[in-house]
Chains A and B, each alone.
Chain A
């Protein structure tokens, strides 16, 4: 399990697999990927389910499932604290868990949240307070190979130009996050 620091938001991620799969969920040509997101309090609701689907789509885009047919890969995310930018924190935790576990990947991904203020200013990785004051909140999952968008989620209203602006800012910020991944892995392998 891996836990990235992102201000006051933290998510614990655990990845299990490739493991045995129950009969009905078995896919003949690739691994069956499942994501479970558990909120800090209460039972998982509709918001968790929709986030699970977004995470699942992002992970399926990078995992080389064809190397492990008829097996199951399960990713479990537990929200420990939420101080804003929760979805991008979940995306980063998911990628680090995939990286740590040794599942074959074709690329890495990261999550960046942008908050669009009333006057058009873009704030990256907003806190809960900044998210509440914002006109729109956009979360992008960016891949490491060509900085393409793997997933996008938006809340609120913004124009197309503003969305492009946020996307450009997110792609630039993605470089910092990928640099952080590389440092994490370097530290892990420097101990041996």
Chain B
């Protein structure tokens, strides 16, 4: 029952869905979706994860954003959860999500907090103690206007102001903190960031054969690049920006031309 139950929504996986489409999930024998089955008997209920772009409604899942429907089967045996559905959509506007690593721009200092612009509808707050090795005496060296910070969201929901930290749960910075001097910050769409963050991304591998460079990717669509010279930095910036619209062959041609001369 657990595997066959996804057949109705599974037909749309990989296809374009529009807001207002309802993805049907077959009715389960036990109508109460929240109660866990305690007795063995029929196949265990599949717990379905409803990802971005989908909301639950009576008949099944209501699509709220246009995009490609994706599905991931959760690992495990027959007793596993039913997996996750989500809509892969392209957008430029970022909405803060807990746990996302983003690049923020410091705009103000209010007492013990820094106010960061993360590209969302509200500014995020960052406490000066949320850096590795920071104490009340040993404050982080953050210039107020224009400094770049790479951190993750501790609190991010629609009702509260987002809060960022630059340490992970064990107190180590793991790459987060103030981003160094020089370099170039620019904005791309969120879909390109997700593509670049995928493991073994072809774009990053091809670019690293060209020049050595430092790269910071923020889930809010911001990329920071630094190479040895300003010219190399700008070339990498132009290629990354153009990657959104280029196919793989066009990109290989552009890179071949650059490494040729």
Contacts and interface: CB of A to CB of B under 8 A. Distances in A.
Interface of A: 17-21, 62, 64, 67-72, 99, 101-102, 104-108, 143-145, 178, 181-182, 185-186, 188-189, 191-192
B117 to A, nearest CB: 10
Contact of B20 (A18, A19, A72, A144): A144
A69 B121 CA distance: 10
A144 B18 contact: yes
Contact of B19 (A17, A71, A99): A99
A106 B118 CA distance: 27
A21 B66 contact: no
Given A18-B93, A18-B95, A68-B121, A182 B16 contact: yes
Contacts of A145: 20
Given A101-B93, A102-B93, A106-B64, A185 B20 contact: no
Most A CB contacts (10 A, CB to CB) among B19, B55, B67, B159 go to: B19
Nearest to A178: B18
Contact of B18 (A19, A21, A70, A185): A185
Contacts of A21: 121
Interface in B86-112: 89-93, 95
B18 A181 contact: yes
Most A CB contacts (10 A, CB to CB) among B55, B64, B123, B245 go to: B64
Interface of B: 16, 18-20, 53, 55, 62, 64-68, 89-93, 95, 120-123, 158-159, 191, 245
Nearest to B20: A107
B95 A68 contact: yes
Contacts of A192: 90, 191
Contacts of A101: 91-93
A99 B18 contact: yes
B95 A20 contact: no
Nearest to A144: B20
B191 A106 contact: no
Most B CB contacts (10 A, CB to CB) among A21, A102, A189 go to: A102
A105 B159 contact: no
Contact of A106 (B16, B62, B66, B91): B62
Contacts of B92: 101-102
Contacts of B62: 106
Contacts of A102: 65, 89-93
A108 B121 contact: no
Contacts of A72: 121
Contacts of B16: 182, 185-186, 189
Most B CB contacts (10 A, CB to CB) among A18, A21, A69, A178 go to: A18
Q: 9 shortest A-B CB distances, which residue pairs?
A: A102-B91, A71-B121, A107-B20, A105-B19, A104-B64, A18-B121, A144-B20, A185-B66, A186-B16
A67 B158 contact: yes
A104 B93 contact: no
Contacts of A188: 90
A181 B89 CA distance: 15
